[in-house]
Amino acid sequence: MSNIVGVDIGGTKTSVIIGSSSPEIFAKEKFETLDSSSTLKNVVEIIKDYQSKYGNIESIGISCGGPLSSKDGIIICPPNLPQWKNVEIVKYFDEHLNIHSKLENDANACAIAEYLWGAGNNTSNMAFFTFGTGLGAGLILNGQLYRGASDMAGEIGHIRLNDEGPMGYNKAGSFEGFCSGGGIVKLCEIRLKEKSKEKDTEEFISLLNNKNLTTYEIANIAKMGNKFAVSIFEESAFYLGRGISILIDILNLEKIIIGGIYTRMESYFKDTMLKIIKFEALEYSANFCEIVPSFLGESIGDYSALAVAMNKI
């Protein structure tokens, strides 16, 4: 069985994973993402170490936020990596390792992983939503990854769902503003100001106990039964349903897989989301579309980079 390597480049951390196409993960190294030159030198050293321990490596898959060119293997200018501009990463690995490598947008990479090994297996038309720090989607249509004209397909976070609302993707009231980690915090801040004198809000502030306001803390307080915290997730779920309805009507998907926050807190989203979809989407299309949490869960970043190395779709 051939060895493959996945490189998952995030805004704060970079992971280098070696495994097989089964898939099986043999080892993983993780370090702080630095400038492109320092980061890529670290990655090359790790891969060379993997070669000495595990033998020949057939291919390298690279998962990174866009904008990027998967065709040319260039990371163009990701907003979460401001020092990475026009980085010819595929050429770099070719020159330093002489191993075939492939670059893919991170949301697309997650969609490929779920399609090959997760909840999207045996589907032909599906989407994967990241629902983490931001909101993006990977689209697989008619069994093929759909990248669009400039590798920018699936940027659903930019869709405006309301004229007003939390800022996400540089747009107030956007899908990402309502349905992302950063967006939920901003939504909570807005509602705290509006409802500052209500009993449930005062209880929320007391339970927060001067800790930093994060999605994690809002979720913890929601789990304690605080109605204000629960209402924040219900509002996010409302807009999740509205955004999903647009995709169902346009793309006639058979499955939508949602990762990140949704996977960890499905019970706080599901009922409201489905209620809104029933109201907003075409009934015939909605009945064909199943909405599920990520099968690969917290490990999807590792598997997504390996999935890109597979070069299957």
Higher pLDDT, 115 or 312: 115
Task: Average the pLDDT over 100-115 and give the result.
Answer: 96
Q: Are 132 and 265 in contact (CB under 8 A)?
A: no
pLDDT band at residue 197 under the 50/70/90 scheme: confident
Q: Cβ–Cβ contacts within 10 Å for residue 231, how many?
A: 17
b/e map 23-48, b = 16+ CB within 10 Å: beeeeebeeebeebeebbebbbebbe
Which pLDDT does position 1 carry in this prediction? 64
Return all residues near 178 (Cβ < 8 A) that are at least 6 apart: 161, 162, 165, 166, 168, 184, 187, 235, 236, 238, 239, 240, 243
Category of 148 on φ-ψ map: left (φ > 0), alpha (ψ -120 to 50) or beta: left
266 phi and psi angles, rounded to 5 deg: -55, -40
Return all residues near 230 (Cβ < 8 A) that are at least 6 apart: 222, 268
Q: Cβ–Cβ contacts within 10 Å for residue 2, how many?
A: 11
Whole-angstrom Cα distance, residue 64 to residue 67?
A: 9
Q: Six-digit token pair at 5?
A: 């390597």
Q: Which candidate, 146, 188, 176, places its Cα nearest to that of 79?
A: 176
Which pLDDT does position 313 carry in this prediction? 76
Q: Six-digit token pair at 255?
A: 């499955």
Tens-place pLDDT, residues 48-92: 999 999 999 999 999 999 899 999 999 999 888 988 999 999 999
Tens-place pLDDT, residues 124-169: 999 999 999 899 999 999 999 999 999 999 999 999 999 999 998 8
Category of 80 on φ-ψ map: left (φ > 0), alpha (ψ -120 to 50) or beta: alpha
